Structure 1
Amino acid sequence: MREGEPSRTAFGAAALRAAHQESDEPRIFTDPLARQILGGEEPPDPSWDQPRLRLFIAVRHRFAEDSLAAAVARGTRQVVVLGAGLDTFAYRNPFPDTRVFEVDFPATGAWKRERLAETGIAVPDNVAYVGVDFERDSLAERLAEAGFDATRPAFFLWMGVVPYLSDEAVRATLGVIAAVPDGEVVFDYIRPVDRSPERARPDRATLMSHVAGVGEPLRAGVESEALHAMLAELGFTEVEDIGRREIRARYLGLPPGDAEGDAHVLRART
C-alpha cells in the first residue's frame, strides 16, 4: 500500500476478474461490472495475468458467493466485504434486503468511491463504507460505528487479503467474526512455498516478486493444520477447506490430480 493510492494488488485482482469474463470458457464466475470498474486501466505489469492465478481468483469468488447465498437463505442479512478493493458484489448484490459493509484501508475506499462515480456504477442505499487498517484499527469498533449489529448473524467475504497480513491481524479479525452469532467467513490463504507443485513454483515466484515490487509483499504462508487449529480455538465449529484437488474436480471438470497445491479457499462458521 502506498499512501494516497489504491492497493495495486486489489487492482490486479480486479483486472484478472475482468479477464476471466473474456478469456476463460466455461466461465466459473460471472461479474458484469468487472471490466467497467477498471475504467479502462490495465495492470502495469503483464506478468500479473497468469492463467492459474486468474482461475483461482474466479473460483474463490464463486465459492464465496455460493456460500453467501446459502447463508442468506438461512436468514443472514448482514454482509461484510473485508478488504473490499475493487470487489463489485455490493453493486450487483442479488439480495436487496441485506446490508453490505465495505471495509478497506481508507485510501483504497476513498479512491474506489471516486472510481464508482467516474465509471457510472450506482451505489445502492444498502451499502456502507468502513475505513480500517487491519494491522492497527479495531475492526469491531469501526463496524459498530457504521451501524453493524454484532448481535445478529453476518457473512464475511475476505478475498485476497489474508496472504498479506500478519498472523496477529488474521487472528484478531477472525476473533471478531467468531464473536458474531452464526458468524461465517470465506477467505483464501496460501501454504508455505515448499507446498507448491514444482511446475507452479515459477508462477508463484513471479507473483511474489511483482507484489513485493509494488510495496505489498506476501507473507510466508500458513499450514492448513495450524490454521484449522486456530479456527477451532476461536470457536468456529464448521470448516470447509478446498485446495487444488477440489477446485479441479468441482469447478474445472478435471481429474483431481496428485498434487495438493498451495492456494486454498476456506469457509468457516461458528
Structure 2
Amino acid sequence: MGGSGGASRTAVMVCQGRAAAHGRLAPGRFDDPTALALLLPAERGIVEQVRAGDAPAGWGPRLTFEMVRACAEVMAPRTVAIDEAVRQALSSTVPAATAQVVILGAGLDGRAWRMVELAATPVFEVDHPASQRDKRDRAGELVAGAPPCFVPVDFSRDDLAAALAAAGHRRSLPTIWIWEGVVPYLTRGEAARTLRIIGDRSAPGSRLIVHYHTPAPSAPLGRWAARLLSALSRQPNPMAREPNRSVWTPGAMRRAVGARGFAVARDDSLLTLARRLDTPIQHRRSLRNGRILVADRAPTPG
C-alpha cells in the first residue's frame, strides 16, 4: 500500500517486525531471512535493538522500539498461518504445475524469494506504483528464488483486472490469492470491488487467504494515543498517511467471500494462532482483532 503518492511506511514497519521475529519467535515455524535484506541500513538499527531486548532511552526511540516489538509479535503468527495455507494449497488443492500466486498489496513481502515451494510458480505482486519502485530499489540484495512479476495498481483508482491480465495472469488456471495487510486500509466499497475481481479471476481449485481486522471499541483511542505519542516524541507516525478505513465481523467477511464462490475452510484470530505457536502475547488487543481467513473454490470434478 502507499499513500499520498509516496511509498508505504507501514510496509517498512511490517518488514522490521518480520526481521525482529526472524529466528526468535516460533523457531522452526517462522523464518524470514529476506526481511533484513529489504530494509535500508538506517532502518535496521532498531531491529537489532529489539532482537537484543535493548530498549533505548528517550521517548522517540522508545516509541519506535515498542512499535517494532509489537509488530514482531503480530507478524510471526500472521506469516506462519499464511505460509502454511499456501503450502497446503500447493500440495493438495492447487496443482503445482498450473498454480499461480497473486499477492495483493505486497509491500516488502519476500515470499517470492524465500519460499522454495514457489520456485517454479509465477508470482504476481500487486501494489501501489510508488511502493513498487521503492521495493525494486531495495531488492537488489535478494538473490535466492525467482523475482516476482510486479503489477503496479492503486486499489482506489486503477483497474485491477486489466492490470493482472496485462501482466499475464490467467483466469483459466487456479490462483492462490494472498490478501495481507491491505483490507483494513480499503473502504468497504474498495474491498468489495477487489473481491468481485478476485472471484471473477479465480478458476476452480483457487484459494483465497485474507487478513482482516474486526471491530474494536478501543481502536480509535489507540490511534489517538499513537498520534499523541508521535507528536510528543517528534517521531513520524507510520500510520498517518495510511489510516484504517474498514473493519469486518467474521460473519460479514464469510458472507463476502462466500458471495464470490469461496467456501471458508478456517478463520482464526491471530491471538488463537499465537497461542498455538506459543509466541509472546503482550499486545493482546492487536492479536485478538486481526484474523486470517482461508477459503477455497472447489476444483472441477474428475
| TM-score, normalised by the number of residues in structure 2 | 0.76
Indicate the SS of the match to 1:234. Answer: coil
> What is aligned with 1:261?
288
Q: Which residue of 2 aligns with 1:191?
A: 214
| Equivalent residue letter for 1:17 | R
For the residues of structure 2 that align with 1:167 and 1:14, how far apart are their CA atoms? 26
Q: Within 1, Cα distance between the matches of 2:263 and 2:25?
A: 36
Question: Per the alignment, do residues 125 and 31 of structure 1 end up closer, same or farther by CA in structure 2, a change over 3 Å counting?
Answer: closer
Greater Rg by CA: 2
Alpha carbons of structure 1 residues 261 and 84: separation in structure 2 relative to 1, 3 Å: same
Query: Which has the larger displacement, 231-240 or 86-95?
Result: 231-240
Pairs within 5 Å for 1:96-245:
96-117=119-140, 120-122=141-143, 125=146, 127-179=148-200, 180-181=202-203, 182-194=205-217, 206=225, 210-213=237-240, 215-244=241-270
Name 1:83's counterpart in structure 2.
Answer: 105
CA RMSD of aligned residues (A): 2.9
Gaps of 5+ in 1: none
Deviation string, structure 1 residues 213-256 (Cα, Å, up to 9, x no partner) = 2x11112522111111112222112341101552244222799x
- Separation in structure 2 between the aligned mates of residue 254 and residue 127 of structure 1, nearest angstrom: 32
Q: 1:114-152 deviations in whole A, cap 9, x for unaligned?
A: 1112xx213755621100111111211101101110110
Q: 1:173 to 1:207 in 2, by over 3 A?
A: farther
Q: Of the two structures, which has the highest relative contact order with CA contacts closer than 8 Å and spacing of 6 or more?
A: 2
Aligned to 2:36: 35
**How far did 1:60 drift?**
1.4
User: Which AA in structure 2 matches 1:184?
Assistant: R
- Write the deviation string for residues 66-95 of structure 1: whole angstroms up to 9, x where unpaired: 111111113142011111111111112313
**Aligned partners of 2:28, 2:145: CA distance in 1, in Å?**
27
The CA distance in 2 between the partners of 1:91 and 1:244, in whole Å, is 25
Identity of aligned residues (%): 30
Cα distance change of structure 1 residues 60 and 206 upon mapping to structure 2, 3 Å threshold: farther
Give deviations 1:29-75, integer Å, cap 9, x for gaps: 20011111103232786042243x42222211111111111111131
Letter paired with 1:265: I
Judge conservation of contact 2:180–2:210 (CA < 8 Å) in 1.
yes
Separation (CA, whole Å) in 2 of partners of 1:231 and 1:17: 28
Contact preservation (8 Å) 1:155, 1:185: yes
2:128 and 2:280 map into 1 onto residues whose CA distance is: 38
Cα distance between partner residues in 1 of 2:227 and 2:183: 14
Count of residue pairs brought into register by the alignment: 260
Listed as ranges, the gaps of 5+ residues in structure 2 are 47-60, 229-236, 298-302
Matched, 1:55 2:55: no
Distance in 1, Cα, partners of 2:9 & 2:197 = 27
